[in-house]
Amino acid sequence: MRDVAEQSPGRPIRVVFVCLGNICRSPMAERVAERAAADAGMTGVEFSSAGTISEEYDDPMDRRAAAVLEQHGYRHADHRARRISEVELESADLVIAMEDRHVSSVLELATDPSKVSLLTDFDPAAEPGSGVPDPFFGSDTGFSDTLTAIEAAMPGLFDRIRELQGSKS
């Protein structure tokens, strides 16, 4: 099977971030990646987010996640939770999960496991396989820690995106 990016040389690299309900970690990662890409002058990439369950469908982002994003100057409004689909997985070039259980859920639907990774795999200082802990049931501080973990992975993730962009040229 050929890489989706190789099949469509004119389209952007598609990156989808995945967590459980799509109300905390994955939309935070989407927004951090958008701004980091803009700040780096990176073009030709699209970011989105989704969850592995439907229970939070159409819910807004958790207010604590939105507050942390707002405090740090990230886009925080206009989010509605949604569940990942097979079509989205197929069209994605990278599927970035927050925890191993999300990797497992995605792999049940994904046809190409080589495009599925943990976000923390892109952070050289993170313990291998550690994942981004779920802040939902904890204090507001947990959301700041989540943001820190997401931001730490961006340089490594962007290196991978650049590799994919180079393979499309």
| Distance, CA of 165 to CA of 169 (rounded, Å) | 7
Check if the beta carbon of residue 20 is closer than 8 Å to that of residue 49: no
Q: What is residue 110's three-state secondary structure?
A: coil
Strand order in the sheet with 94-97: 45-51, 13-19, 94-97, 116-118
Contacts 24+ apart (CB under 8 A), 75-80: 75/31, 75/34, 75/35, 76/31, 79/23, 79/27
Catalytic center residues: 19, 25, 134
Check if the beta carbon of residue 122 is closer than 8 Å to that of residue 150: no
Phi, psi torsion values for 83, nearest 5 degrees:
-95, 145
Check if the beta carbon of residue 153 is closer than 8 Å to that of residue 30: no
